[in-house]
Amino acid sequence: MKSALAVEHLQELVRIPTVSREDSSTTEWTEFTRFASALRKLYPLCHSRLERETVLEYSLMFRWRGRSSTEPSVLLAHYDVVAAPPEGWKRPPFAAELSGKGEERLIWGRGTLDNKGSVVAILEAVESQLEAGLVPAQDIYLCFGHDEETHGTGASAIVDLLESRGVKPVMVLDEGGAIVDDVFDQVEAPMAVVGVAEKGTAALRLTVDQSGGHASTPPRTPAAVRLAQAIIRVNSSPFPANLTPTGSDLLRILGDHAGGITGFLLRNVSWTQRLLVPILVRKSDELAAMLRTTQAVTILEGGHAVNALPERVSAIINVRIAVNSTLSATVKHVTRAINDKRVRITVDSPGEPSPVSPTTGLAWELLRSTIEKTFPGTIVTPYVQNGATDSRHFTRISRGVYRFTPFAMAREVRDTLHARNERMLVSSYLDGINFYRALIASL
């Protein structure tokens, strides 16, 4: 692998602003076409030796034929990114600039982590293995969605296509968990958290319709106040926190690597969880989100003039539904918390939690062993992913759907996902390429 060239390739592709938008008519699709053209230039062997298809105009699927097609695998990623207004960035979001030296060398830009870094690392690994003459034992599909950040129609259409052809992958690997080392203070070794499931997601729209009028003579409870009260009630009524079987497995594994009272509590989580759960909830927002359904107000709408009472106001609550719950139970909880029949609740973009993939069997063991070989000394553990990914569509055709991004991500780096100053360590990116090379060689 030519490291300098691999970095240049990532820089070139990050510089193409493939921003997907909720209103697809406002998306600059020429940038997506430019991205696909750049891939042809940068990865000639992938395009000449693999079967390439375009799905829904912009999503890409490559089939790498192996010696058998009975147990295929899918390497999944997406190349669209969220918007990145330049204000507040230390370096321009689509300049893909490098900074630092040695182990601290960074590459900056929207998409480095989410998720062009994975797309490019996969292609770098495949291109180099093709150059080395590798023929995989089983078919490998490379699937790159174009609208994961918005509607996921590309990945869904790819699954439709694979399903129509009778393709049933034994393993699907998408973005998700990463190499982290700052979640549990008492565990010194880095952790590779692998998503075996992901929460459901939905947008709950709260709407209040009420007579308007002049702002000089407001009623006791105008529509905006009624909505505000509803939001406060929801925010003051968090969902109950508890451990799923996956969460218990995670803590037990960590307990084997933690000493003292902490190790004891974690190893015996089956009967210490009543003590542990409140501690974990208080420790960090990240851990709290792992233990419960979450709710966050993301959009507020209403009003058209400074001196007129709005006749309709609304808010969107983004909910992430725990795997041991349902959308119905989530709506019931929010309705009970608001306790106001004048606040209408409707559900947009409903999605139930995904099935839980097994942590035994060939696919899991292959993934675990590849992580341990590529990142020596790393603790591999399952977890439930908070965010939604394209992988949720693949649960229709595969039981072995896993979510793991093979990059080291410290907390300050994870905090840049969908935020300003997204960046990654160059060394992490190169390690990710090595991970995919090793995984491909084992498939």
Any idea which residues carry the catalytic annotation? Answer: 80, 148
Q: Closest by alpha carbon to 430, among 403, 402, 406?
A: 406
Sign of CA dihedral 84, 85, 91, 97: positive
Q: Which amino acid is at 124?
A: E
The 3-state DSSP composition of the chain as helix, strand, coil percent (nearest 5) reads 40, 25, 35
| Helices and strands counted in the chain (H then E) | 15, 17
Rounded Cα distance between 224 and 348, Å, is 21
Could you count the other beta carbons within 10 Å of the beta carbon of residue 210? 19
Angle (CA) 180-123-139 rounded to 5° is 100
Q: Distances from the Cα of 268 to the Cαs of 6, 189, 294, in angstroms?
A: 45, 20, 26
Cis peptide before 421 (omega within 30 of 0): no
Could you count the other beta carbons within 10 Å of the beta carbon of residue 105? 14
Question: Could you give the dihedral angle defined by the CA atoms of residues 123, 126, 132 and 138, in that order, rounded to the nearest 10 degrees?
Answer: -170
Q: Closest by alpha carbon to 77, among 321, 342, 370, 432?
A: 432
Tokens of 408: 């080291």
**CA gyration radius for the chain?**
23
Rounded Cα distance between 117 and 7, Å, is 10
Site of tokens 């062993």? 369
Rounded Cα distance between 189 and 181, Å, is 7
Tokens of 319: 């909910």
Could you tell me if 100 and 428 are in contact, meaning their C-beta atoms sit under 8 angstroms apart?
A: no
Q: Distances from the Cα of 399 to the Cαs of 171, 172, 362, in angstroms?
A: 8, 9, 12
Q: Closest by alpha carbon to 112, among 142, 84, 85, 87?
A: 84
Tokens of 19: 């921003």
Return all residues near 381 (Cβ < 8 A) that are at least 6 apart: 191, 192, 193, 194, 249, 250, 253, 254
